[in-house]
Chains A and B, each alone.
Chain A
Amino acid sequence: MLLPVEELKTTLEQLLPGLTLTVENSVLVVPPAQLTGVARCLKDTERFRLDYLSNLAAIDYPPERIEVIYHLYSMAHKHGPVILKVKLPRENPTVESMVPVWRGAEFQEREAYDLYGVKFDGHPDLRRILMWDEFEGYPMRKDYKHEDQDALDGNPSGSAHA
């Protein structure tokens, strides 16, 4: 079975020298630079074989950072989830793309780019996936100014109510 997060951290640090991992309430926080190393190690070592990236999401914490979170499971050993988290600056968040490791990340990374503006280096074709291409801005960020902001704030200027 998969070992708890602490042992996972220590074994990973033994396997990959020069790796600084921290654990925040059972989530492995990985520095952006070493993400691909950790990912490949988790996927290829026989003990883990986390070959299935179930979910990839970006979370916006306005003033200081944007986090990208990865939920990994193993279809071979049927164990899971190992949760990786990467913390990126808010101005120009870039991280290595996981598509070479898990092909499933392709659309989810494009969605994170489209809605949050997180750039993924090495992604085969990083384009907007849900919005139309000429759309400016990243709609899911907390500080995104909606065109008719008041409709969002709840006073129903938009609805037919007089």
Chain B
Amino acid sequence: MTHIFSGASPAGTIDQVFVSAQSFLLSFLPQALVPWASILVRIGVIAALAPAIMMYLTWLERKIIARMQNRFGPDRVGIYGLMQPLSDGLKMLNKEDIVPNGADRLLHLLAPIMAVSPAILLFAVIPFGRNMAAVDLNVGLLYLLAVSSISSYAIFMGGWASRSKFSVLGAARTVAQIISYEVPGVLSVVTVIMITGTLSLVGIVEAQADRWFIATPWGFVGAVIFFLCGVAEVNRTPFDMPEAESELVGGFHTEYSGMKFALWYMAEFLETFAVCAFTTTLFLGGWQGPAVPFWTVTAVSAAMIVTALRLPIAAKAFGVAAMAALTLLFWKDPVPSWIWFLTKTYLLVFVMVWFRGTFPRLRVDQLMGFAWKFLLPLTLINIVAAGVWVWFAFPVGTLLSVTILIAGIWGLVRVNSPEPVSLRRFELAD
């Protein structure tokens, strides 16, 4: 019974295009060198992929938020502003790198580097498609949680090293926030480990072949909590207290400029992508997807190319021709696994940018209260619900876990909402 949310589709040729390309490339080398060369190729791909992802994530965020505010967003540099990230990068390169006097120069330099490296390390474990994970660790999940907690050291180091009141305040807030959001983040993942029984990310994705975990009651709540904790760990709205522009001017990266500031920016956006990628992997079925024929993808992209106003005619013609060729080449193949993975991830990135375009910021103590008094107990209840869901058969298990979750949420809201100080009443007097 292929469930709507699953899809063990047969591996088509386009699905394995990257894997076969790599093996074709390596076939020229002598046999002994092949394992080393494949590692080098993967490192090369990640080194090229990460900055590109980061640059076009900034472009995507500025365009989406602009459209939410009824305006265009960058459209001057290149068609549709596609060259904007490049111009930002160049601007950052030739900006003067100011280090406040009295700042600890070594730490001031080390902090952004230490912030970017874990963000890039995370890419090693992301399963982009069927057997397309750079490294298929059998403890992938553990690796993910360990590496993503290094960034709090880097941020505090950056804040402390720049010796300015604003950054010290920002740094102190960061450490408190990241630590208090890691606890519910990790606990929400425990349910996935419990159900699948493996720590390897590829194993988890394969376990979701017939049912994505988000389709289960505990998976839905777990996904929401993991996503929220991810947003908090990346310091994005509504949890962006450490770099709150309105009161701390820039939080921990107030005193950074030039390429160092670009590194902070890169770390934030790479971790945004990583959080969305891991939420997809753990709860949204990774690269699994129903057996949808490949020509739908090429048809949609051809339609978008044709209706694009600003593209010159030649580019439009070339694009449509390419799409037609792809359709003919891979007529009978289903949609490849890496396209499923990228669409789900970028949908989640849209949700994160959507948060940033809508919400104001939570105050520090409310932030902490939300993590410790609301999310943490909810994850424990979630674990119980997952246990019940596994133990009992289909109808009973689901019903029981849903009731446990609803009761838990209602109780927590009741506990967390204090008595109002005095009745708030508005009056229209004359």
A touching B, CB within 8 angstroms: no
A→B interface (CB under 8 Å): none
